[in-house]
Structure 1
Amino acid sequence: MCIALFALPFQAFAHNHHEEAPIPSQKPHIKTGEKSALQKLIDATEPGGTLVLEKRSYRGSISISKPITIKGVEGTRIASLKTALTITNTENVVIENVVLQAEDVGIVATDINKLTLKNIKIEQGTAGIQISNGTDITFDNIAISGQDGHFSTKGHAIAIFNSANFQATGCDISSVMDGFYIEHVDNISLTENRITDGRYAVHMMYSDNVTLEHNDVKANMTGFMIMVANHVSIMNNMVEKNNSLNSLGVYTYDVEKVDFSNNALNENTVAMSIENTRKMVIKNNSFSANGTVIQAKRSGTLSIQDNEFYGNILSVRTDNEGVTLHHNYYDDYTGKDYDGDGIGDTHYIATNSFGQWMVRKPVYQYFIESPSVVTLNMMDTEVIDSNSLVIIDDQPIVMKKTMNTNFSMNGWQFIGSIVVLLVMIIVRRKLI
């Protein structure tokens, strides 16, 4: 009875509270799948027209299936819980000056002709840009950054499949699985891009007519991975600090007709791994502070000429005859140039037993220049005639070309200074 009497006031209070509670205002019903404000603007734009966006955030996924130009301004953002932008079955689409935030993929395009993306930033969820069955695709100044974590948990920044005529310039990509993943694409040009902290900076397969020029590739597992390709030009790139376990600066497999020139490869575990590659010329490159510079497998037509090697553990090793060295500079060359023609009077042996051991066991580096290692290197020079896999440069350069250039410049400066000094002396004497 006491409990019942105690509970009565609370029941009355609850009953009165329920009766006095205001009736909530009725909110408008939003249908599932209703178009976003931006989608309505796109739909209202005539085919071939231009839509200029405001400095604001647009929310929701959008799709494009007609020719259109969309231009944002500084501060224009598109945010989506899924794919931010889908482009299908159309042509002449231009997207400029937009920041995309997507939980899934930033941009997906299929069956597209003449697509241009310029000044686009993607704050990546699963992946950045995916394109299939496209032609005449142009990327200019695309920035894509992945989330924290191991690259195995991430997607590709830019993936292109079954397409033709793709070019990307000035892209800045970091912390993704692959910077560029390209498969079955003809006519590719990647220039002035920067790719860091991923698995492969450029991962390319089954593609022809490739140009990689003036790119900066740093701190990835592998810089350029080119497989099953023809007519490849790799020039004026910086490939450096791809130096974790089993890292490669450049890897080619089943590639034919490769021009690799004027590149700088620094501080890589292996600067270049070349396998089953035909008609490849490596010329006018700089290799410094790498573990192994070039390792060649089943690539007997490889030509290595007019390069500079300094501070590397091992210059070249191969399992196949036919690899040639010609007219390169090596900082560990100990020969002399008695006739002063700039070419050593004795040949340079690129392969040595201790260098190959040191590549496999880095701890061996502490024994460099020890008496036993010096003796081993001397023994290597005595058995070159019986070992067809030892790589020899018959015309090693005695002085680096960069040193020659500096000396020449300093020489002209010296002559100019002498001339100026003589003029000053003559003028002073006349005044006196």
Structure 2
Amino acid sequence: MRAFWALTFGLLLSAGPVFAQPSLQARIDAAAPGDTIVVTGGTHEGPFVVDTPLVLRGRDRPHLKGDEQTHIVAVDAADVTVEGFRITGSGTDLGEDHAGVMVRAPRVTVRDNRLSEVLHGVYVKGEPRAVVVENVIEGPPTVTRRLAPDEARRHDCSVPPEGGDCAVPLPVPQRGNGIHLWNALHSTVTHNTVHHTRDGVYFSHSDHAYAAHNTIHDVRYGLHYMYSDDNTFEHNRFFDNESGSALMYSARIAVRHNVFRNNRSQRGYGLLLQTVDESRFAHNRMVQNGTGVYLENSTRNTFADNVVASNYRGVRFTGSSMENRFGRNVIRGNLNTATVAGASATNEWHLDGRGNYWGPRGLLDVNADGVSELPHRTVDLFGARRETFPYVDLLAGSPGLSLLADALARVPDTDIPTLTDTHPLVEPPDHSEAEEAAGLGAVGTLGIVLLTVGAVALRRRVA
């Protein structure tokens, strides 16, 4: 009997390694196409490579921890899903595009993950039909730097008098983007939250994409968009960024039901268009930004049913933007309504005989069709002088200049740059929107102008 138990115990000892839990990478490598790998809790050391079509599903938010040298999860097989994880610790080399999840295969879904301490959050590289949905992405990763005591204190770090090493966030220019799509056709990006990255969502050469219900804040550009056509963006929120958006070198974009709010850097645009053509912008709200809408070298775009309110500057045109149409918009409560010096006369301020709502003053509606028989004129008193003498903006909104602008707006054919809406609306298309726009008040816009002028002056002084 004693010999039996000794033999049994010996067999159990020798069999111990057989029952050891395999690593997550080993489970991935052993999976067959179409398998679902369920990962429960705990921390799993990476990096990881997925080269088989499968579902990698986290339960109780397991932690995929990178080695801070490369991508945390690299997907090299089509039809893969990665969902339900906490993902941290990517490399920090922009030249290598290090990312929390690097997608290098078609039809990959990245869903319901929490990514932090990553360079790029999710990077889709040259593959179609990616789905990035319901993720929370926070940057940036930290790097160790030697700091003097004063600078270290700003990062809540204590060092000796001669200085020492501190973990500090990457500077904005060295950060990656929350979601980065390069040559990623027919991609879907919805219900994500991104903050403290470089740009929120970046599209490059990515046509036929759909982005909706994303929330982007505390980044450089909430939406950065280059060389991408035939895309749709709707129901997104971009706030507290250096700029809400920068749409560039693209055509046939549908941008609707988005909010661009409180984007207030020196060039704090709500909606910026640079060489954008034949696109439609409808039911968006650009409020409390440095500039609500900015157009440069952009043609044949349509703006309808938007609210542009309580910005420092409502609308800004350059002379290279032509054949754009604005109608049924609420444009009011901005410290400067419009900057139109040199703007092309080919731009129209009505759609099918219905102009924009600029406020209740000076309107006459004899036939009760909702359109005033008297044109609305906005005079750009400062014109190009703003660029040469930024301090002139301190006078914006002053009673004297407002009175002068009102008087000159009633005198046609002056040499002063003027925007003329020949069919202004007597009432806003939506009363609630107009009331909210008016209720935002002049205090916020005055703060914007002071911050903007101060930033310009400081930049010139430093230069």
Q: Give the TM interval when normalised to the shorter protein.
A: 0.7 to 0.9
2:79 alignment counterpart: 92
How far residue 233 of structure 1 moved from its aligned partner, in angstroms, is 0.3
Residues 177/404 of structure 1: CA separation in 2 closer, same or farther (3 Å cut): closer
2:398 counterpart of 1:364: no
- Give TM-score, length-normalised by structure 2: 0.74
2:103 alignment counterpart: 109
Q: Which structure shows the bigger proportion of residues in strand conformation? A: 1
Match of 2:130 among 137, 158, 163: 137
Q: Which amino acid aligns with 1:390?
A: T
Task: Determine what percentage of the aligned residue pairs are the same residue.
Answer: 20
2:138 counterpart of 1:152: no
Indicate conservation of the 8 Å contact 1:270/1:292, yes or no: yes
Residues 256/331 of structure 1: CA separation in 2 closer, same or farther (3 Å cut): same
Q: Which amino acid aligns with 2:424?
A: P
1:122 alignment counterpart: 115
The DSSP-based 3-state class of the residue aligned with 1:152 is helix
Residues 196/50 of structure 1: CA separation in 2 closer, same or farther (3 Å cut): same
Q: Which amino acid aligns with 1:308?
A: V
Task: Tell me, in whole angstroms, the C-alpha distance in 1 between the residues paired with 2:348 and 2:225.
Answer: 27
Paired residues for 1:24-423 under 5 Å: 37-82=23-68, 83-88=71-76, 90-104=77-91, 105-110=99-104, 112-147=105-140, 150-297=171-318, 298-318=320-340, 319-326=343-350, 327-331=355-359, 333-353=361-381, 360=390, 361-365=392-396, 368-370=398-400, 373-382=402-411, 384-387=412-415, 390-403=418-431
Task: Tell me, in whole angstroms, the C-alpha distance in 1 between the residues paired with 2:275 and 2:432.
Answer: 37
The count of corresponding residues between Structure 1 and Structure 2 is 368
1:3 alignment counterpart: none
Task: Tell me, in whole angstroms, the C-alpha distance in 2 between the residues paired with 1:406 and 1:369.
Answer: 23
Indicate conservation of the 8 Å contact 1:67/1:93, yes or no: yes
1:424 alignment counterpart: none
Q: Which amino acid aligns with 1:322?
A: T
Q: Deviations over 1:112-146 (max 9, x none)?
A: 11101110110133221222111110011011011
Indicate conservation of the 8 Å contact 1:354/1:373, yes or no: no
Task: Tell me, in whole angstroms, the C-alpha distance in 2 between the residues paired with 1:166 and 1:337.
Answer: 48
Please tell me whether Structure 1 or Structure 2 has the larger radius of gyration of its CA atoms: 1
Q: Deviations over 1:199-244 (max 9, x none)?
A: 1111111111111100000011111211111110000001100112
How far residue 283 of structure 1 moved from its aligned partner, in angstroms, is 0.3
Indicate conservation of the 8 Å contact 1:313/1:358, yes or no: no
Task: Tell me, in whole angstroms, the C-alpha distance in 1 between the residues paired with 2:308 and 2:283.
Answer: 10
The DSSP-based 3-state class of the residue aligned with 1:252 is strand
5+ residue gaps, structure 1, are: 1-35, 408-432
Indicate conservation of the 8 Å contact 1:352/1:380, yes or no: no
How far residue 334 of structure 1 moved from its aligned partner, in angstroms, is 2.6
The DSSP-based 3-state class of the residue aligned with 2:108 is strand
How far residue 405 of structure 1 moved from its aligned partner, in angstroms, is 10
How far residue 293 of structure 1 moved from its aligned partner, in angstroms, is 1.6
Task: Tell me, in whole angstroms, the C-alpha distance in 2 between the residues paired with 1:183 and 1:60.
Answer: 29
Q: Deviations over 1:140-186 (max 9, x none)?
A: 10110113565234211111112211111100000110111211111
Residues 404/397 of structure 1: CA separation in 2 closer, same or farther (3 Å cut): farther
Residues 163/75 of structure 1: CA separation in 2 closer, same or farther (3 Å cut): closer
Residues 63/169 of structure 1: CA separation in 2 closer, same or farther (3 Å cut): same
Task: Tell me, in whole angstroms, the C-alpha distance in 1 between the residues paired with 2:232 and 2:73.
Answer: 29
Residues 207/396 of structure 1: CA separation in 2 closer, same or farther (3 Å cut): same
| Higher-RCO chain (CA-CA 8 Å, sequence separation at least 6) | 2
Task: Tell me, in whole angstroms, the C-alpha distance in 2 between the residues paired with 1:246 and 1:405.
Answer: 25
The DSSP-based 3-state class of the residue aligned with 1:374 is helix
How far residue 342 of structure 1 moved from its aligned partner, in angstroms, is 2.8
Task: Tell me, in whole angstroms, the C-alpha distance in 2 between the residues paired with 1:369 and 1:357.
Answer: 20
Q: Deviations over 1:63-103 (max 9, x none)?
A: 01121111111231101123211122x21111111110113
Indicate conservation of the 8 Å contact 1:270/1:291, yes or no: yes
1:29 alignment counterpart: none
Q: Deviations over 1:389-423 (max 9, x none)?
A: 5221112112223339999xxxxxxxxxxxxxxxx
Task: Tell me, in whole angstroms, the C-alpha distance in 1 between the residues paired with 2:66 and 2:206.
Answer: 29
Task: Tell me, in whole angstroms, the C-alpha distance in 2 between the residues paired with 1:368 and 1:149.
Answer: 42
Indicate conservation of the 8 Å contact 1:352/1:377, yes or no: no
Indicate conservation of the 8 Å contact 1:239/1:265, yes or no: yes
The DSSP-based 3-state class of the residue aligned with 1:208 is coil
How far residue 358 of structure 1 moved from its aligned partner, in angstroms, is 7.5
Indicate conservation of the 8 Å contact 1:165/1:188, yes or no: yes
Indicate conservation of the 8 Å contact 1:303/1:324, yes or no: yes
Indicate conservation of the 8 Å contact 2:379/2:408, yes or no: no
